[in-house]
Amino acid sequence: MSAGEQGTEGELPERTEWIWHDGEIIPWDAAQLHVMSHVVHYGSSVFEGVRFYATPDGPAVFRLTDHVQRFINSARIYRMDLGQSLAQLSDGIRDVVKRNGLEEGYIRPVAFRGLGALGLHPGKSPVKTYIVCWPWGQYLGTDCLEQGVDVCVSSWNRPAPNTLPTLAKAGGNYVISQLMRLEAEANGYAEAIGLGTDGLVSEGSGQNLFLVSDGVLHTPTLNGSLLNGITRDCVLKLAAHLGIPTREEPIPRERLYVADELFFTGTASEITPIRSVDRIEVGGGVGPITKALQAEYLGIATGERPDLFNWLEPIHQPASEAAL
């Protein structure tokens, strides 16, 4: 099955056989939690979204260490003790992908507060960590990477700084994303762009955002309303490599309507072109800078282009060796 044919965002994940849980590999059906778990009531989880790609040298995880480090940072922000080191979590990711025999797909490390005290204070609720993987295709629908998607500006804002910490990838942050996503769908759009409470462009429900204007690439500053995306970082580095000037700056909404090119970035969404915002067409279809960055990004991820920044971490190499 090619990536384009695998399930997309709105579909059930294809069931795989094995899940990693706190150092052990357990069967899919054994990964259960109690309804009174703290996370069910209070959204106390942190997670990651990671992709691994089939390359000529076997499956490789894209920016594994950076994702695991962000997972650890998210847990740290929420004072959750994972009890697992970066090397142990990285090995866990490799193990679960190997055990399931997958060549490409998506990996979801998730840690949450389980069954303990019944009140809000999470102290007595043990932290449980799981790693799941499954085949996953193009996030915003088959062909979205080639055709682009139609999006709207959401009536929901992204969180204000000092409310939900947006540098943490925490389950609770995604209730806002769900509202954005559902509203977009109800109005016939594939995805929504959120503004910050300052009214400036922030990010999508699960993606960062870039625009191209007069040959310059612009993206919102990390101002406390958006996730510090790993794909965002890839695009900034690839743009520098390709000689495309970049600016991280505050972006007012109306610049979306007059941009030459617009695209989302994210592990799940990869580099997804945006072809209209609020039914206003962007540029003239998928633009040349979007295409060049997409080709470079996917070329590196699939091992077809040189891995200029050492972003690929092979499944069949233990983390301890990878660090040498």
Ligand X SMILES: Cc1ncc(COP(=O)(O)O)c(C=O)c1O
Binding residues among 106-165 for ligand X as defined by CB under 6 A: none
Scanning 23-31, 105-113, 148-156, 259-267 for contacts with ligand X by CB under 6 A, the matching segment is: 259-267
- State the Cα–Cα distance between residues 219 and 233, nearest whole angstrom: 11
Least distance in Å: CB of 230 to ligand X? 4
Between CA 43 and CA 31 the distance in angstroms is 18
- Is 206 an interacting residue with respect to ligand X (CB under 6 A)? yes
**Which residues are CB-contacts of 318 (< 8 A; sequence separation ≥ 6)?**
91, 94
Minimum CB–partner distance for residue 177 and ligand X (Å)? 6
Out of 90, 125, 129, 208, name the contact with ligand X by CB under 6 A: 208
**Three-state SS string across 245-256, please?**
CEEECCCECHHH
Q: Tell me which residue of 1, 58, 6, 37 sits closest to 313, measured CA to CA.
A: 58
Specify the residue, 17 or 249, whose C-beta has the smaller distance to ligand X.
Answer: 249
What are the E-state strand segments in the chain? 18-21, 24-27, 45-47, 50-55, 58-62, 105-113, 127-134, 149-157, 191-195, 201-204, 208-213, 216-219, 246-248, 261-266, 270-277, 280-281, 312-314
Instruction: Judge whether 156 and 179 are in contact, CB under 8 Å.
Output: yes
Minimum distance, C-beta of residue 25 to ligand X, in the bound complex (Å) = 25
Q: Can 169 be counted among the known catalytic residues?
A: yes
Over the window 227 to 246, marking each residue x when it contacts ligand X by CB under 6 A and - when it does not, the resulting string is x-xxxx--------------
User: Which residue, 49 or 59, is less far from ligand X as judged by CB?
Assistant: 49
Residue type, 291: K
220 binds ligand X (CB under 6 A): no
Min dist CB 209 to ligand X, Å, is 9
N- to C-terminal Cα distance for the chain?
35
Residues of span 6-65 touching ligand X by CB under 6 A? 49
How many residues contact ligand X, by CB under 6 A?
14
Binding mask 266-295 for ligand X (x = CB under 6 A): xx----------------------------
Catalytic annotation, pick one of 98, 128, 169, 291: 169
User: Are 228 and 277 contacting, i.e. CB atoms less than 8 angstroms apart?
Assistant: no
Residues of this chain that bind ligand X (CB under 6 A): 49, 177, 203, 206-208, 227, 229-232, 265-267
Catalytic positions are 169
